[in-house]
């Protein structure tokens, strides 16, 4: 089997934020936060990479730096061979047609003073894709494609439910006919029954339009339903990356194992050995030395080495990468 | 059988909406019991009335626009909470019945130390001195697993993480050793590893303190792991209630069935995973205009003409003791219709 060429390639991505200043901005600058600390992955055309982690792990920053909504400090991002980070403003705008984003919050990501029609017409106008009569036709068909009645074009966001708003957000991203979508927690704010509708829609759109997805989420169960590959982040780094079937069947990093075991399963008979991690995620401004996970790590083989030597992300099984000194003896 | 600790009958909490939108019947005839020492899960999606139900129990509904309709009945330890004088009610709130909320960020006062906030209930209800109450607060912080409690007691909420704050909320709620703890989405705002910590903590405290817990959540996984019995709400009503194992093994209301089927699961086989998720068509109707007949009928795959006109009462499931597994669905009277669909 030959692997399809990657559409999106990310290498050594780094983003640092200056820490907040104390004393109303007059105090000394606090430590730099390494939000994204050397992240690399590739996504093949038409496939989905699930990027998973808890709040503050840097997953959202990864998504935004790829699109240059946030400028990264180092690294390389290519879309279909084009160097995204080296582009000037004009070329970047042209490239944005090919890569779009859907945000988590369907309430905050639509302008409340614009109708659905106006929201969807804007990208068409910016990219000079369609003028009025043609634009209206395209908006109608976009709405139908995302499962909304074209009559919704005249509605304002407050008249829509959360699920409907998220469909509008998806339609807006699709309006410029992109190849690549960053989906940043697209179903986290939705109720279970609506979440299933939107996940099915995303899967269907991907098939029909041959879209490539970076699906950012905190919920491993949701990711299992949509991703071909999964990357798990902790404190700005990818700690494990593998094909979804491999990762769910046999995680190699103790953080992945713990995350999987912490997801509540809707089956009262499931007698699972739940691993409850102790403590909180450390601040990314002061990451622990050595392996960033070692203070919380439940691995029985954990040793003093973990607190000194940072483990590299290495291939521990075909296609499966893990950053753990004991990945050969998973928990 | 033991007497219920909390006995809710035909609770109706309505809200008069602005600009003539009509009356929102947020909770519309809800009945259930909570027994001493058990965990009752109250499950449903946004807008089903689960939070309004819990706020009604402590009479925390803002009036106006809300009001609890005459004929509603909430009995706790033999007294109707809905007719108690404010003073008597205050003696119960935070003392016999305590509550924790979803947002540990906004439920704590940012200008007081966590110690002051935990101690307050003990000073008010148990008339402890400041010094004694502070000592109790340190004990509570230890109980909920906060490291260095002697030092943490003087910290402010902003110095703590979300998980720590939720532990503080729990310490505040439990300082008077309540008989009933109402936990409204206690882990929804937390990361999954922190959620696991808090659920384990609640389990342990319930065992140690012997209190009853009413766990309100949208997450069927959380309910499956923690609750003894489950009440499923839809459109302001209880549509099904059953012992937890029974409910998950044999969901009989089409809404419960659909909800369970639409949860993305970790425990499915890989071959099944990439298929379509089951989803319930349409969306929850508005509380100002519940559908006639069965409120779920416009979204129900089994609905027939009777469902659109006649509202089903809670019906006992055949083969179970009366009142243990009830379902608001006409299918119980014509079970062959379910098989025909399947």
What are φ and ψ of residue A54, in 5° steps? -85, 175
Helix, strand, coil shares, percent, chain B, to 5: 35, 20, 45
B20 versus B305: the higher-pLDDT residue is: B305
B224 versus B22: the higher-pLDDT residue is: B224
- Chain A residues with CB inside 8 Å of B244's CB? 268
Say whether pLDDT at B271 is over 80.
Answer: no
Q: Is B266 on the interface with A (CB under 8 A)?
A: yes
* Closest residue on chain B to A55 (Cα): B191
Per-residue pLDDT reduced to its tens digit, B99-133: 998 876 778 899 999 999 999 989 989 899 999 99
**pLDDT computed for residue A232 by the predictor:** 97
Nearest to A218 among B192, B218, B219 (CB): B192
Quick check: B138 and B115 in contact, CB under 8 A? yes
Task: Record the tokens describing residue A235, joined without a space.
Answer: 């404190």
Quick check: A236 and A55 in contact, CB under 8 A? no
Chain B (188-217) residues lying within 8 Å, Cβ to Cβ, of chain A = 191-197, 199-200
The count of CB pairs under 8 A between chains A and B is 131
Identify whether A210 is part of a domain.
yes
**What residues make up the domain containing A43?**
6-109+179-322
Identify whether A172 is part of a domain.
no
DSSP, res B207: H
Mean pLDDT of A262-277: 81
Mean pLDDT of A67-79: 94
CA distance B301 to B258: 9
Complex ipTM value: 0.82
| pLDDT over 70, % of chain A | 94
- Chain B residues with CB inside 8 Å of A54's CB? 191-194
Residues in chain B: 342
Instruction: Kindly write down the DSSP assignment for every residue of A244-255, as one continuous string.
Output: HHHHHH---SHH
What is the distance between the terminal CA atoms of chain B, rounded to a whole angstrom?
A: 38
Contact (CB<8Å) A196/B220: no
Mean pLDDT of A108-124: 92
Nearest to B277 among A196, A219, A259 (CB): A196
* Closest residue on chain A to B255 (Cα): A193
Contact (CB<8Å) B283/A163: yes
Identify whether A160 is part of a domain.
no
Per-residue pLDDT reduced to its tens digit, A40-62: 999 999 999 999 998 889 999 99
* Closest residue on chain B to A148 (Cα): B282
Say whether pLDDT at A2 is over 60.
Answer: no
Per-residue pLDDT reduced to its tens digit, B182-227: 999 888 878 888 888 888 889 999 999 899 999 999 999 999 989 9
The C-alpha of A199 sits at a distance from chain B's nearest C-alpha, in angstroms, of 8
Mean pLDDT of A256-280: 84
Q: Is B96 on the interface with A (CB under 8 A)?
A: no
The C-alpha of B53 sits at a distance from chain A's nearest C-alpha, in angstroms, of 19
Closest CA to A69 of A108, A98, A25, A100: A100
The C-alpha of B202 sits at a distance from chain A's nearest C-alpha, in angstroms, of 13
Contact (CB<8Å) B276/A200: yes
Identify whether A232 is part of a domain.
yes
- Chain A residues with CB inside 8 Å of B264's CB? 195-196, 199, 219, 221-222, 224-225
The number of helices, as runs of H, and strands, as runs of E, in chain B is 13, 13
Mean pLDDT of B308-329: 93
Identify whether A198 is part of a domain.
yes
**pLDDT computed for residue A275 by the predictor:** 83
Identify whether A102 is part of a domain.
yes
Mean pLDDT of A274-280: 82
Instruction: Kindly write down the DSSP assignment for every residue of B268-307, as one continuous string.
Output: S-HHHHTSPPP--SS-PPPTTSPPSSSTTGGG-TT--HHH
- Chain A residues with CB inside 8 Å of B234's CB? none
Highest mean pLDDT among A86-90, A105-109, B53-57: B53-57
Contact (CB<8Å) B277/A199: yes
Number of domains in chain A: 1
Contact (CB<8Å) A265/B279: no
Identify whether A330 is part of a domain.
no
We report the CATH number of the domain holding residue A66 as 3.40.50.300
- Read off the pLDDT band of A165 (50, 70, 90): very high
Nearest to B279 among A193, A276, A280 (CB): A193
Q: Regarding beta strands A212-217 and A33-44, do their DSSP bridges make them parallel or antiparallel, or are they unpaired? A: unpaired
Mean pLDDT of A117-126: 92
Say whether pLDDT at A1 is over 50.
Answer: no
Contact (CB<8Å) B193/A277: yes
- Read off the pLDDT band of B46 (50, 70, 90): confident
Contact (CB<8Å) B196/A274: yes
Per-residue pLDDT reduced to its tens digit, B283-315: 888 888 899 999 999 999 999 999 999 999 999
Instruction: Calculate the average pLDDT of chain A.
Output: 90
Residue B173, number of CB atoms within 10 A of its CB: 25
Work out the angle at residue B211's Cα, subtended by the Cα atoms of residues B205 and B217, and round it to the nearest 5 degrees.
80
Identify whether A150 is part of a domain.
no
Contact (CB<8Å) A265/B200: no
């Amino acid at each position: 089997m030959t692997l399809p060429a990657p559409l999106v390639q990310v290498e050594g991505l780094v983003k640092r934020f200056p820490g907040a200043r104390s004393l109303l901005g007059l105090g000394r600058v606090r430590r730099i936060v390494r939000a994204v600390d050397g992240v690399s992955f590739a996504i093949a055309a038409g496939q989905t990479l699930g990027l998973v982690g808890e709040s503050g792990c840097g997953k959202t920053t990864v998504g935004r730096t790829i699109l240059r909504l946030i400028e990264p400090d180092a690294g390389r991002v290519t879309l279909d061979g084009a160097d995204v980070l080296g582009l000037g403003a004009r070329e970047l705008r042209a490239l944005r047609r090919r890569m779009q984003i859907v945000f988590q919050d369907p309430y905050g990501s639509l302008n409340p003073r614009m109708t659905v029609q106006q929201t969807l017409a804007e990208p068409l106008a910016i990219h000079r894709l369609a003028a009025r009569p043609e634009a209206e036709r395209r908006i109608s068909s976009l709405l139908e494609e995302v499962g909304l009645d074209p009559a919704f074009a005249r509605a304002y966001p407050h008249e829509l439910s959360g699920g409907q708003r998220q469909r509008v957000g998806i339609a807006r991203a699709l309006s410029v006919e992109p190849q690549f979508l960053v989906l940043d927690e697209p179903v986290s704010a939705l109720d279970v029954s609506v979440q299933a509708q939107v996940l099915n829609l995303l899967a269907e759109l991907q098939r029909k339009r041959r879209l490539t997805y970076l699906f950012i989420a905190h919920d491993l169960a949701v990711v299992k339903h949509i991703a071909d590959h999964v990357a798990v982040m902790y404190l700005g780094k990818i700690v494990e990356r593998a094909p979804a079937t491999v990762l769910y069947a046999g995680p190699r990093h103790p953080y992945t194992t713990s995350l999987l075991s912490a997801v509540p399963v809707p089956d009262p008979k499931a007698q699972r050995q739940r691993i409850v991690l102790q403590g909180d995620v450390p601040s990314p401004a002061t990451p622990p030395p050595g392996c960033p996970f070692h203070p919380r790590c439940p691995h029985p083989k954990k040793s003093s080495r973990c607190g000194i030597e940072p483990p590299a992300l290495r291939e521990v099984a075909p296609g499966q990468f893990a950053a753990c000194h004991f990945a050969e003896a998973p928990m | 059988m033991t007497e219920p600790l909390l006995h809710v009958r035909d609770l109706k909490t309505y809200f008069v909406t602005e600009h003539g939108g009509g009356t929102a019947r947020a909770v519309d005839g809800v009945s259930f019991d909570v027994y001493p020492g058990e965990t009752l899960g109250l499950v449903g999606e946004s807008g089903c009335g689960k939070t309004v139900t819990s706020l009604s129990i402590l009479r925390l509904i803002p009036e106006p626009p809300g009001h609890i309709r005459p004929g509603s009945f909430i009995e706790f330890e033999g007294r109707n909470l809905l007719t108690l004088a404010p003073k008597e009610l205050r003696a119960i709130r935070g003392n016999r019945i305590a509550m924790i909320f979803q947002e540990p960020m906004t439920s704590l006062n940012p200008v007081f130390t966590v110690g002051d906030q935990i101690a307050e209930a003990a000073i008010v209800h148990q008339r402890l001195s400041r010094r004694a109450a502070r000592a109790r607060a340190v004990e509570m912080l230890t109980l909920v697993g906060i490291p260095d409690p002697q030092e943490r007691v003087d910290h402010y909420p902003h110095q703590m993480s979300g998980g720590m704050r939720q532990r503080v909320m729990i310490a505040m709620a439990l300082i008077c050793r309540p008989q009933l703890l109402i936990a409204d989405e206690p882990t929804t705002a937390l990361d999954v590893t922190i959620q696991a910590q808090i659920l384990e903590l609640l389990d342990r405290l319930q065992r140690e303190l012997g209190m009853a817990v009413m766990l309100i959540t949208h997450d069927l996984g959380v309910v499956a792991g923690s609750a003894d019995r489950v009440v499923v709400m839809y459109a302001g009503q209880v549509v099904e209630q059953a012992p937890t194992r029974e409910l998950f093994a044999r969901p009989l209301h089409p809404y419960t069935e659909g909800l369970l089927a639409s949860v993305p699961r970790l425990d499915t086989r890989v071959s099944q995973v990439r298929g379509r998720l089951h989803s319930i068509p349409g969306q929850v109707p508005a509380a100002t205009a519940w559908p006639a007949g069965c409120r779920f009928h416009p979204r129900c795959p089994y609905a027939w003409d009777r469902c659109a006109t006649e509202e089903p009462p809670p019906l006992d499931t055949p083969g179970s003791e009366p009142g243990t597994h009830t379902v608001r669905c006409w299918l119980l009277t014509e079970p062959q219709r379910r098989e025909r669909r399947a």
